[in-house]
Amino acid sequence: MTKQDARPLRSVLFIAGSDKEELETAASQGADAIVIDIEEPRTPFPESERVKTRALVGEFLKTAPTGKGAPLWFVRVQPIDSGFTLRDLNPIMHPALAGILLPKVQTAGDVIAADALLTCLEADSGRERGSVYIYPILETAQAIRNAYEIAAASERVAYMGGAVSRFGDIHQAIGFRWTPGGTESLYLRSKALIDARAAGVRWPISGMWGGDLDDEVGLRKWVNELRDLGYRGMMIGNSIQIKIAHEVFSPTAEEISYWQDLDRLATEAEEKGSGPIVYGDPNKGEGHTVHIAHVGSARMNLDWARQLGLVNKG
């Protein structure tokens, strides 16, 4: 399994690994992916509680639904420099586990260390080597600075993007003041996006919306800006945000129609050996005369739509 094998995730919903009821209802929430938190599902969270949570999550993953219609299951473990990552991993290496979220990443070395642990545990559990993804969380200034190296450190890193928090770790690292408009985190989100893409991450995922849960206007504006930048999904902390995330991070019927038209016209021109290819209103400028780059973009986006089930495969 490589970065190219990953599927797009529009919504990545966090739930507490210590909450049995949340675990049992998570699959029905409709998110593309679920992150089960065993790093710090609540505060305080002593090791005695984490021991219980590891066992609870491990039991859940033994029978967690997988396949068509089911979410991908991730677990947020403790960071590499805690020394306890292996303790978190041992009970959860079941077939349902798609990947781990690795917090407090600083350098590529953290990813390499996690990769080595997973390789050993995959061998022990009979899983295919490389079958567990690593999703590094960029929560420090060092991580933002080293984002490309972090994303390129392992083929397991199929998901990554700009962490955003109203008053959490990234705030401590940078010192910004959160605003609904997100100007203070625009550079962080943009740099992480470019670095992730450059390292082969096809489906960059942004951090959460920090605004009020009932501020649908603010949330929608935020998600649309993420989509405009190039993100294909976002972390969410509440299931009520899933609908908007899926709506915005899915191509529209109009977009799909346009991409299909370009693909069809290019295919016909290639078969006949004729050109140039023109499309629509001449006033559109670049959009009127179709070049190979436009066709490549259309076909790339059609693949995205296919993977979301919005266009038939074939």
Domains, the chain: 3-248 (3.20.20.60), 253-307 (no CATH)
CA–CA separation, 118 vs 101, rounded Å? 13
Q: How confident is the model at residue 254 (pLDDT cuts 50, 70, 90)?
A: very high
What b/e string do you get for 175-210 counting C-beta neighbours within 10 Å, with b at 16 or more? ebebeeebeebeebbebbbebbbebebbbbbbbbbb
Beta strands, E only, 145-232 = 205-206
Q: How confident is the model at residue 314 (pLDDT cuts 50, 70, 90)?
A: low
Beta strands, E only, 71-147 = 72-76, 97-102, 133-136
In tens, the pLDDT along 83-121 reads 999 999 999 999 999 999 999 999 999 999 999 999 999
Q: How confident is the model at residue 289 (pLDDT cuts 50, 70, 90)?
A: confident
Q: How confident is the model at residue 170 (pLDDT cuts 50, 70, 90)?
A: very high
The percent of residues in the chain predicted with pLDDT above 70, rounded, is 98
Say if CB 189 and CB 226 are below 8 A apart: yes
What's the average model confidence in pLDDT over 195-223? 96
What's the average model confidence in pLDDT over 184-192? 96
In tens, the pLDDT along 20-49 reads 999 999 999 999 999 999 999 999 999 999
Encoding tokens for residue 276? 């140039």
Q: How confident is the model at residue 268 (pLDDT cuts 50, 70, 90)?
A: very high
Say if CB 156 and CB 119 are below 8 A apart: no
Encoding tokens for residue 24? 């049992």
